[in-house]
Amino acid sequence: MTTLLGLRAPSAGPMKRTRQIARVLAGHGLESVADLAGLRRFIPRFRPRARAAAPLTQAERVRVALGELGATFIKLGQMLSTRADLLPADLIAELSKLQDAAPAVPFSDIERVVAEEMRRLAVPPFLSFERTPIASASIGQVHAAVLLDGTPVIVKVRRPGVVEQVERDLEILRGIVDWMQVHTPLGRDYELRELAEEFAYTIRGELDYVREAQNATRLRLAFEGDRRVWIPRVYEEYSTERMLTEERVSGVKISDLATLDRLGISRRAVAENAVQIFLREILEFGFFHADPHPGNFFVQPDGSLAIVDFGMVGRINEETHRHLLRAVLAAARQDAEELAEEMYALGVAGRSAQRAAFQRDLDHLMGCFAGRTLRDLSAASVTGEIVGIAFRHKLQLPSGLALLLRVVNMSEGIGLSLDPEFRYLEYAGPIFERSWRKRRGFRATATRAGQAAAEAAELGLDLPRRVTRLLARVERGEIALNVAHQGIENLTQEFQRMTNRLALSVILGASVVALGLAVGIRHVPELAPIVGWLLRLGLLFSLVFGASVLWGIWRSERR
């Protein structure tokens, strides 16, 4: 069902939630955001005046409103905080402060979920289960427990009803995005539907603890034998979609600098270790921990790191690897043309993109960095400048690349918090070069050449059959050509206005001819009264249509 405004009307279930969203936005003075989302009609006409509070910026009000709206919108804000290519810097800074915290669920509800999930086991697995949670977030709640063999574990339990809440909110968001795609400049410039689908996939992944368990196990196996990192073991036999059981992590939080100093642990070594881990995930595994905030890293006595929380991960395929490395090397060589080429190859695109202007701005940026060494630059400043240029040119980064850039900045922030003299790019530069040389080495090149040859041979054998099928579909009329026109709507509207004016002119001319004929037969006595009335009506008709034609021509000339 679609309204006159074009916004898909929510079904009976989400209608109440839609009104609540609109009221929260209006309550925080965000009517402009409600207008952008097509929610103005859901704001009550008469509502109590908001209580006086300390003045906040619009970006701060957006952050507070999203936090008030719950799990889906907190996660949405956190995801949008990675999209400096779509949103202004002040809003990005505020969204980055969103904390995923929520009041604790009563223990009786948690106990019921655990009992339902463990019902398939002959013997309950827990020797003890702490009633007071260690942490409570909008999606899940974490409790400490002990297995029957005495192993300390943590158990993450999904909040009852959160899946239904998220799915209802996602339905509303789909309607909002559909409306914005048609009615707003933001929707016309960017592929918001693709962004919404990516967000839906991500948040559903965080709701499914089986997927999180698989992410943790994958990284644990990848780092096997590396003493610099410890990934907690997941007890899959005690884990389900609603409950995750894994080893309890000990150690010092990476942000607790005083304790690190007291224990004599080198902060510089920890910073280098964190960067090594992250770069290995990117360059070697193509699979990385995408939420590297300090609360997820615990330093062990030997300086190694334990990492937790694998609900959010990023992936990079081999092709993206190659273009990413080439982009980094192009930036290091200050080659703006090559950098622009690689960014487009990475999927950076926009409906109104002007490549020449984009490359010119990159060239100017490279000039600003000329003569400066890697020690003088920070990853945050470089990526921030490049993404800022993309924002000005309305270029949209692929979701995976935007997430990667955010993680780079966060990992650099961890390094600087540990050691203010730590230079991320200076330390990471040689690692990137070694990775690039390895990927261009004889063995890697021979492997790619062999794969390409095999694919070419397979394509050659399969090509005649594919061409035959294609021609058959063309003959049957099963193939349709879709052409996307840019700006044709304005041309169509102008053509329709011209056609309307032409039609009015023809009617006006016909009216004048009819009046002339009526004057010719007015002298017939029997028809004189009727002809008189027809002349009056015809004159009025001609005046109205003539005025309409003149008004339309005058407005057209004014435009």
Q: Annotated catalytic sites, by residue? A: 291
Q: At what angle are helices 424-440 and 379-392 packed, to 10 degrees?
A: 80
Q: Which of 293, 286, 289 is nearest to 316 (CA)?
A: 286
Residue 301: how many CA atoms within 13 Å on its side-chain side?
A: 0
Closest CA to 408 of 342, 307, 328, 350: 328
Coil/strand/helix, residue 135: strand
Residues 84 and 80: their CA atoms lie apart, in Å, by 8
Burial of 277 (0-12, 13-18, 19+ CB in 10 A): buried
- Residue pair 113/143 in contact (Cβ under 8 Å)? The answer is no
Measured in Å, how far apart are the chain's first and last C-alpha atoms? 36
- Burial (Cβ within 10 Å: 0-12, 13-18, ≥19) of residue 270: buried
Query: What is the rounded CA–CA span in Å between residue 280 and residue 141?
Result: 31
Separation in Å, CA 218 to CA 206, 230, 310, 413: 16, 13, 10, 26
Cβ-based neighbours of 25, under 8 Å, separated by 6 or more: 31, 33, 34, 37, 39, 43, 65
Q: Which amino acid appears at position 177 of this protein? A: V
d(CA 34, CA 179): 12
- The encoded tokens of residue 529 equal 């009264």
| Strand duo 305-307 + 229-230: pairing | parallel
CA distances from 72 to 29, 85, 93, 107, 204 (A): 21, 22, 19, 23, 10
Going from the C-alpha of 419 to that of each of 380, 407, 412, the distances in angstroms are: 16, 18, 10
